[in-house]
Structure 1
Amino acid sequence: MISENSYFDDNVKSLGYTSATGKSTLGVMEPGEYEFSTSLHETMTVIEGQMTVKLPDAPEWVTYKAGEAYQIEAHKSFLVKVSTQTAYLCQYK
C-alpha cells in the first residue's frame, strides 16, 4: 500500500512504501527551513537538488548534493535548509 504524507503546510510531500529492503519514503521539499524528528534510524539520499543539514550534535551545517546520503539515529531531531525544490529517498531501519 502506498501512503501519502504532507508536512509544513504542504511544503514537504512524500509517498511511503514498503519494498524487500524495508520501509521508505520518496519525497520533494520546497525551498525553506525545516526541523524533522525521527522515530527510526533513517538514511536520507538526495536524488535531485541539495540539502544543507545540521545533524544532531554536529558542530556545523553540511551540504549534501544529488547522489549523496546522510544518516540520523532514531529519536533525534535535525535541521534542513533547501534553496530549490529537492527530491529525496528516506529509508528506515
Structure 2
Amino acid sequence: MSVFHPVSVIKREAAPQTTPAAHTHEPVLITEQQVLFSTAAAVGAPSRHTLMTTMSQAMSHAMSSAVTHWRTREVRPHYPPRMPYLEHSLMAREMDRL
C-alpha cells in the first residue's frame, strides 16, 4: 500500500509500540594508558630534523628555484638578419618612391 493511502496510516497507528531491548553486555572500561597508547599509535612518531636533512632541503629548494628561474627567463625577440649589401639599393628605391 502507499504511504499516502489513509488505510495504511490507520494500520500504522493501530500497530503496538515495541520497546527497545535492554543492553545485555556490561560496559567496557578503558584505562588512561590504553587511551595514551592508541593516541600515540594514531599520531605516529615525530620527524627528526637533523642538520643533514635541513641542508639537503635547503639545497633542493635552491636548485629547484634556480631551474625554475632559468626556465622562465624571458625569450628574446627574433630579429631578421641585416643584409648590408642591400641597404643602399633599398634606400634608393624608397627615395625614388617619394
Q: Do they superpose with TM above 0.5?
A: no
> Higher relative CO (CA 8 A, sep ≥ 6), structure 1 or 2?
1
TM-score using structure 2 length: 0.12
TM-score using structure 1 length: 0.12
